[in-house]
Structure formats: structure tokens, C-alpha cells
């Protein structure tokens, strides 16, 4: 298998990430090793990279790809466990932490990975196949109101109620087991010009819910701040507004030195500033990159530095 994912905002993200050639770095979303490979190109023989991915295929692929390279250690862990990984590695701090969120092109394009609605595949959507509940379980068992809420909250889809109703009606007759069946149910009640967007939103919503993506992202960001060295950088590439909002808010909170009400006579909050935001506005890919790689079009890069 060759690299099945083109890394996004590669030089922009690494220009921020690498502050010390002999530093210790953490890549929380290894994927096909695009960012990790470039980190290795930029650190020297005293540097170390620890990379992790929940997806076993990505992990196994990179084990082969980086085979004899001694400066990288690979984990098949959730990135939220960065605090556990530092302990396992007896590392105190990282000089830089990076996450390139979401799914890889391989996961999206490969029907056997179960993420795609363009080809018929089992309705799975788990990045980590050890998770007990998959997307099929959700659409076949969750009550209509909860299903609608997930589609609305994580897919920002206005027709969430109509879609949930259609799913619940259909499953009375037959279990919904494939991406193709779910796609058919959604397209049946969606005008043709909205179908692609609606499908993307519903599949995004189910994927976020099944993988508990937003909660893990929050834990990852909070834990990362604790294991960054002063001057170390936290670099995050996100692909939709829900992720980007979380990154923005956690960075903003981290950059505050006081959270007392504005009319408080003296500060009593004990809040300590932990971050300095380096990207007041997110860095976006250049048109040139988007032309070459469509997946880059929704990418946003945000960077904060540990104070």
C-alpha cells in the first residue's frame, strides 16, 4: 500500500511546530505518516517523535513505513492519552504537539474502512475498531429524538428531525446495516441539489458521535497544554466548525490570566495564563494547495505557544 493521504498544510504547520531540532515532539494523528515523516526530516539525531493513531490500519502501515527509524515511537492509542504516553515514555515535556484532525483520505475513500457513502459498505464509522458501538447500532437502536439531536448537533443539519423520522420508520421493517441503505433513505427525502451536503452532514454527525470525537479533542487539548514545555507549540489542523470552535475556545481560555467578573474589585480567580495565541486568525491553505488536494479546502490551522 502506498501513502493514501496527502498531508494538509504541511510546511505551514511544521514551520510553527519545530522550535528545536533536538526536541521531543508528539503527533496525535499519525495517519499515513505525512506530518510525522516531515517532522523526522526536520529534527536531528537527538530529537524524538512519538506518534499515535487509533486506527489499526494506519498504525500498521506506519510501522512498516518507519521500520528501522530509531527516532520515532508509534502508539495505537487515542491521542487524548498523551498524558499516559508521557509517563510510559518517561518524558517530562514535549517541545511541540500536533494534531491533524478527522479522518484520512484512506478512511474516507476505502469502502472496507466503512466511512464512505460513495460506495456501499457496512455502516460502521469507527476509527477504533475496538469501540463497542458502531454507526449501524446507533441508527437501529437510538430513539428518534436522540437521533435527530445527534444529526443536528454534530452535523449542523436543519432537516435532522425529518431524517431521524425517516430512519426510524425504515428500521421498523428492516435493520439499516449498510452505508448504501442509509444513503438511499436520506436521498429519498432530500432534493437532489442538497443531497451531497446532507449526506456529508449526516455521516459526519454519526462519525463524531460514534468516535466521541469532540470529547476526546477537548481532553487532548487540555492534556497537551500540561505536557508542553514553556515555548513549546500546540499546532492543530481542523476541518469543520465544531472542531475549530473547540480549539479556538480552549486556546482563548488558556491565554487568559484572569477570569474574574469584570466588576470584581480584586482578582480572586487564581487563573494562570498558560498559552499565547500565535495565530490570531486561522492559517488557511493557499489556492495552489486546494487545487492539488480538494481535502485541504476546509482546513484551518491554529497554533498556541505554552508560556
Ligand X SMILES: C[S@@+](CC[C@H](N)C(=O)[O-])C[C@H]1O[C@@H](n2cnc3c(N)ncnc32)[C@H](O)[C@@H]1O
* Site for ligand X, rule CB under 6 A: 5, 7, 28-29, 31-35, 52-55, 58, 78-80, 100, 102-104, 127, 216
Closest CB 288 distance from ligand X, rounded Å: 18
Nearer to ligand X, 32 or 154 (CB): 32
Nearer to ligand X, 80 or 178 (CB): 80
CA-to-CA dists, residue 91 to 53, 202, 229, angstroms? 19, 40, 11
d(CA 10, CA 302): 13
d(CA 77, CA 218): 16
Q: Is the distance from CB of 117 to CB of 187 less than 8 angstroms?
A: no
Closest CB 74 distance from ligand X, rounded Å: 12
Residues 6+ apart with CB under 8 A from 59: 30, 52, 53, 74, 75, 76
Nearer to ligand X, 78 or 136 (CB): 78
Closest CB 32 distance from ligand X, rounded Å: 4
Residues 6+ apart with CB under 8 A from 194: none
Quick one: CA dihedral 170, 176, 181, 186, positive or negative? Answer: positive
Estimate the crossing angle of helix 241-254 against helix 213-226, to 10 degrees.
Answer: 30
Closest CB 243 distance from ligand X, rounded Å: 10
Closest CB 109 distance from ligand X, rounded Å: 12
Closest CB 117 distance from ligand X, rounded Å: 18
Closest CB 230 distance from ligand X, rounded Å: 26
Nearer to ligand X, 207 or 306 (CB): 207
Nearer to ligand X, 86 or 167 (CB): 86
Closest CB 27 distance from ligand X, rounded Å: 7
Cell numbers for 219: 481532553
Nearer to ligand X, 55 or 305 (CB): 55
Nearer to ligand X, 53 or 244 (CB): 53
Nearer to ligand X, 58 or 221 (CB): 58
Amino acid at each position: 500500500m502506498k501513502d493514501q493521504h496527502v498531508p494538509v498544510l504541511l510546511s505551514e504547520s511544521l514551520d510553527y511546530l519545530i522550535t528545536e531540532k533536538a526536541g521531543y515532539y508528539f503527533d496525535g494523528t499519525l495517519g499515513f505518516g505525512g506530518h510525522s515523516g516531515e517532522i523526522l526530516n526536520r529534527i536531528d539525531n537527538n530529537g524524538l517523535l512519538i506518534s499515535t493513531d487509533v486506527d489499526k490500519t494506519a498504525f500498521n502501515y506506519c510501522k512498516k513505513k518507519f521500520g528501522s527509524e530509531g527516532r520515532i515511537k508509534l502508539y495505537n492509542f487515542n491521542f487524548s492519552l498523551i498524558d499516559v504516553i508521557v509517563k510510559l515514555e518517561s518524558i517530562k515535556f514535549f517541545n511541540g504537539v500536533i494534531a491533524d484532525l478527522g479522518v484520512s483520505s484512506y478512511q474516507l475513500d476505502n469502502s472496507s474502512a466503512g466511512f464512505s457513502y460513495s460506495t456501499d459498505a457496512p455502516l460502521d464509522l469507527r476509527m477504533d475498531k475496538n469501540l463497542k458501538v458502531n454507526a449501524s447500532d446507533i441508527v437501529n437502536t437510538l430513539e428518534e429524538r436522540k437521533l435527530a439531536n445527534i444529526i443536528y448537533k454534530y452535523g449542523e443539519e436543519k432537516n435532522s428531525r425529518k431524517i431521524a423520522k425517516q430512519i426510524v420508520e425504515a428500521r421498523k421493517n428492516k435493520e439499516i446495516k449498510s452505508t448504501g441503505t442509509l444513503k438511499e433513505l436520506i436521498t429519498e427525502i432530500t432534493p437532489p441539489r442538497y443531497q451531497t451536503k446532507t449526506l456529508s452532514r449526516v455521516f459526519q454527525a454519526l462519525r463524531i458521535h460514534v468516535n466521541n470525537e469532540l470529547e476526546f479533542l477537548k481532553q487532548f487539548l487540555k492534556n497537551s497544554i500540561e505536557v508542553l514545555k514553556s515555548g513549546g507549540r500546540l499546532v492543530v489542523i481542523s476541518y469543520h466548525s465544531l472542531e475549530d470552535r473547540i480549539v479556538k475556545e480552549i486556546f482563548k481560555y488558556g491565554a487568559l490570566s484572569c477570569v474574574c467578573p469584570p466588576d470584581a474589585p480584586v482578582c480572586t480567580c487564581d487563573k494562570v495564563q498558560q498559552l499565547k495565541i500565535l495565530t490570531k486568525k486561522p492559517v488557511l491553505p493557499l489556492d495552489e494547495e486546494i487545487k492539488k488536494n480538494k481535502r485541504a479546502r476546509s482546513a484551518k490551522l491554529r497554533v498556541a505557544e505554552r508560556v
